Structure 1
C-alpha cells in the first residue's frame, strides 16, 4: 500500500518528467546536460502561487501583472530550453542574465555552469528581484547574484562574461552588452525587428556581433533606458501595420489599399498542419527593405478585407501605396506522400503594385522551400559604422547598432 504523503511528494517529479518529455518532443532539447538541469531544478518552487500542474505545463506564468500585459513572468519551458541550447553554458563559465523573472532560469544556469562557474541575474523591478533572490536561496542556489537595476546597463562589476542571455524583448542592443561580453562570447537575445521577435545567438567578433542561428519567439518588451523604434499605424478599420523607425512606411498612403487592385499568387510550396514556416519572414528581412507586420482583427478577416495567414502576426511587404502579405494557405486536394493534408503557401497583394509585391514575396516562399533549415546571417555593428565597413545585405538602423541581414 502506497503512503499518501509519499504519492503527493513524488507528484512534482512525475510532472517534471512529463515536462521534459514535452520539451524533447518539441525538438528543443538536444543536450543531455540541459535535460539534467531541468530534472534537477524544481520549477514549482519558483512559482508558488501556481498549482503544481500549472508549474510544469508548457506555458508562461505571470508573476507580476502589468497595465496591458505581464510585467514579469516565467517563460514557456520549451522556449527556455531553446534559448539554453543556443547559449550552451559550460562548467566554469561566467554568465549574465538580463531579466531575473522568477529566478528559475538563473537556477538552470547555475546547474549548467556548476560550482566553479558564476551567474548574475539583473531585473529592473525590485519586487521581482526580491522574489527571485528568495526562491534561489530556498532552493539551494543562493550563490546566484541577484541585482536590481536596468538590464540595458548590464552588470559591469562582474564583467567580462563568457555568456549573456536576455529574457526580455529589446528592440535595440545596448552598448554595455557588447562591452561586457568577452571576445568569442555568446549573446542570446530575443530581438525585435521588422515586426517580428527572434531569439538570436550572436558571437562576439572584436567590435561586432555575428549570428547564424535565430528562432521565432515572443517576450515581454524590455523597459528602462533601452530605446525602442517600433512604429504602429492603422491603415483601415481593424487592420494595422507594425514597422521600424528606419523604414519609409507611411500608413496614410495605404488608406485605400484594400479598395484597389488585388492579386493572389500561389507558390507551389506546401506545409502540413502546424508545420512552421516562420523562416519566410526571416528571409524577407534579408531581401526586402519594406518588410513589416500585418495585424488584422477577426472582424476585418470575417468581412473579407484581407486574408492573412495569421490574424495578428503576418509578414508583409510595403512599398509606397501598395502592400503584399503572406496569405491564408489553401488546402491541396491530393494528400502528400506522407498521407497528411497539405496546404499551399501564397501571397496576396493590394494596390497598384499588387502583382509585383506578391510575386516578390512568393520568391522568398520558394527560397524557404528549397532549404527549410537555411537562415540568413545576422550581424550587428556599432551605430557609427560607415556603410563601406558593413557587409552586403539589408541594413536595419537602430539607435545603438546597425544590423545587417545577409542573404
Structure 2
C-alpha cells in the first residue's frame, strides 16, 4: 500500500496516479505506466518534490498578467493523453514544450520506433525542456524554438498533434502537417469557453465528437486572437467572438432591470459536472458568450452566476440570461445525497425568453448527460461549409460547424 505521508518520489508518484485515476482520466494501462515511469519532479527542479506531484500547475516562466509557461495539472495531462491515445511507432508533434514533461510521457508511449517533436516560441522555455529531457534520458525528443502556429514541417507528416497552449483558431499548418486519419488534440477557445477537442483529420476537414472542459495559457505569436471583451457594469464583463453581433453598450443598464429566474427541475449532485450545457448552447444559440463577474458584483446582488468568472450567457440586443447559481433541493436525492436544481436568470426586456432558451438546453443535457454535439472544422477558404447544416462559428483560418 502507498504511504500517503511518504516524501519518496516513487510514493508521491503513486499518490498522483491514484488521484488521476479517481478523477476518471486513466483509462489506459500504458498511459498509467508512463506516468509511473517518468519522474515529474525532475522537470520542475525549482519546486519541491512534494509540490511537483500535487494536482496543480507549476510556473516555470512568469508573464505580465499570467504565467508564460508552466507544467500542466496532472489530471489535465492525463485527460489529453487519453484523447490523443499515443501508440508505439506514432510520430507526434507537440505545440508548447513547457518543462518537457509531456514530451517525455509521449516519448515513453511511442517507443523507439516513434518520434516526438516539441515546439515552443520562448527560447528560455525550449532551453529548459531540452535540458530536462536530456537529463532524464529523453534526448531523442527534438526540441524546436519557433512559433507553434507554423508547426514543424521538417518532420511532417505527423500521426498525431497535441497542443498544450490555448489557441482561439486552428492555423493551417496543423491541418497540412497532420496525416489523414490522424488526431489533433487542442484546447480550442470559442464562445467564451475552452475545451480540449480531439479532432480526426479527414481529406477536407477535421471532425470531433469528443471535447472536455479545460483551461490553458493563451497562445501567442501569429495565431489570430478573435475574442472580444467589454464591461457592462462595474465588475461585470462579457467575452464574445468577433463573428457575433454583441454590443456591450446596449447592456449597460441591464442589471437595473428586475431579474427573472426560471428553474428547470433538473438536478445535479455536489461536484457533478454540467459543462455540457455550455457546449450545447454553442451548438444552438448564436448569442452564447461568457459572463465574468467579480466577487464584489455578486456580493452586491447584481447577478447570481453559477460560476463567478466563467458562466455561459445568452445575449440578444439589450437583454441577457445566464446559468444561475444552482439551488439546493429541499429533499435529498435517491441515495440520500445533496442535490441541486439548475436554472437560468435573465435581465432586460427579453429576460424570460432568454432564460427559457437556456432551460431548453439544460433539458437537452439531462436527456443524455454524456452526449455532445458533433464539431467539424473546415479551412476558412473551403466551400464545404456552404453544404453543412448546423450552427456556424467563423474564425480567421477556420469555420466550425456545430451539429446538435
Q: Same fold (TM over 0.5)?
A: yes
Of 84, 87, 99, 2:84 maps to: 87
Deviation at 1:390, TM superposition (A): 4.0
Q: 2:63 matched to 1:66? A: yes
CA spacing shift, 1:276–1:388, aligned 2, 3 Å: closer
Of 272, 295, 301, 1:304 maps to: 301
Q: Which residue of 2 aligns with 1:98?
A: 95
CA spacing shift, 1:263–1:22, aligned 2, 3 Å: same
Q: 2:317 matched to 1:320? A: yes
The answer to whether the Cα contact below 8 Å between 2:385 and 2:399 also exists between their aligned partners in 1 is no
Of 363, 368, 373, 1:371 maps to: 368
Partner Cα distance (2:257, 2:8) in 1: 60
Deviation at 1:338, TM superposition (A): 1.4
Q: In structure 2, the residue corresponding to 1:242 is in which secondary structure? A: strand
Partner Cα distance (1:276, 1:195) in 2: 18
Q: Which residue of 1 aligns with 2:132?
A: 135
Q: Which residue of 2 aligns with 1:351?
A: 348
Query: How large is the Cα RMSD of the aligned pairs?
Result: 1.1
Partner Cα distance (1:104, 1:386) in 2: 40
Structure 2 gap segments, 5+ residues each: none
Q: In structure 2, the residue corresponding to 1:366 is in which secondary structure? A: helix
Partner Cα distance (1:260, 1:155) in 2: 53
Partner Cα distance (2:386, 2:105) in 1: 39
Q: Deviations over 1:134-164 (max 9, x none)?
A: 0000000000000000000000000000000
The answer to whether the Cα contact below 8 Å between 1:95 and 1:163 also exists between their aligned partners in 2 is yes
Partner Cα distance (2:356, 2:61) in 1: 45
Q: Which residue of 2 aligns with 1:400?
A: 397
Q: Which residue of 1 aligns with 2:208?
A: 211
Q: Which residue of 2 aligns with 1:126?
A: 123
Of 170, 176, 181, 2:178 maps to: 181
Deviation at 1:388, TM superposition (A): 5.7
Of 215, 239, 242, 1:242 maps to: 239
Q: 2:334 matched to 1:337? A: yes
The answer to whether the Cα contact below 8 Å between 1:265 and 1:359 also exists between their aligned partners in 2 is yes
Partner Cα distance (1:238, 1:274) in 2: 27
Q: 2:149 matched to 1:157? A: no
Q: How many residues align?
A: 400
Q: Which residue of 2 aligns with 1:112?
A: 109
The answer to whether the Cα contact below 8 Å between 1:286 and 1:393 also exists between their aligned partners in 2 is yes
Q: Which residue of 2 aligns with 1:21?
A: 18
Of 169, 177, 187, 1:172 maps to: 169
Q: Which residue of 2 aligns with 1:3?
A: none
Q: 2:249 matched to 1:252? A: yes
Deviation at 1:387, TM superposition (A): 6.8
Q: Which residue of 2 aligns with 1:222?
A: 219
The answer to whether the Cα contact below 8 Å between 1:390 and 1:404 also exists between their aligned partners in 2 is no
CA spacing shift, 1:151–1:390, aligned 2, 3 Å: farther
Partner Cα distance (2:128, 2:89) in 1: 26
Of 249, 269, 273, 2:270 maps to: 273
Partner Cα distance (1:384, 1:168) in 2: 25
Partner Cα distance (2:149, 2:290) in 1: 26
CA spacing shift, 1:45–1:388, aligned 2, 3 Å: closer
Partner Cα distance (1:391, 1:406) in 2: 9
Partner Cα distance (1:95, 1:78) in 2: 21
The answer to whether the Cα contact below 8 Å between 1:266 and 1:347 also exists between their aligned partners in 2 is yes
Partner Cα distance (1:158, 1:83) in 2: 22
Deviation at 1:376, TM superposition (A): 0.3
Q: Which residue of 2 aligns with 1:4?
A: none
Q: In structure 2, the residue corresponding to 1:169 is in which secondary structure? A: coil
Of 194, 198, 215, 1:197 maps to: 194
Q: TM-score, normalised by structure 1?
A: 0.97
Deviation at 1:261, TM superposition (A): 3.8
Partner Cα distance (2:11, 2:143) in 1: 30
Partner Cα distance (1:82, 1:331) in 2: 30
Q: TM-score, normalised by structure 2?
A: 0.98
- Worse-matched range after superposition: 269-278 or 216-225: 269-278
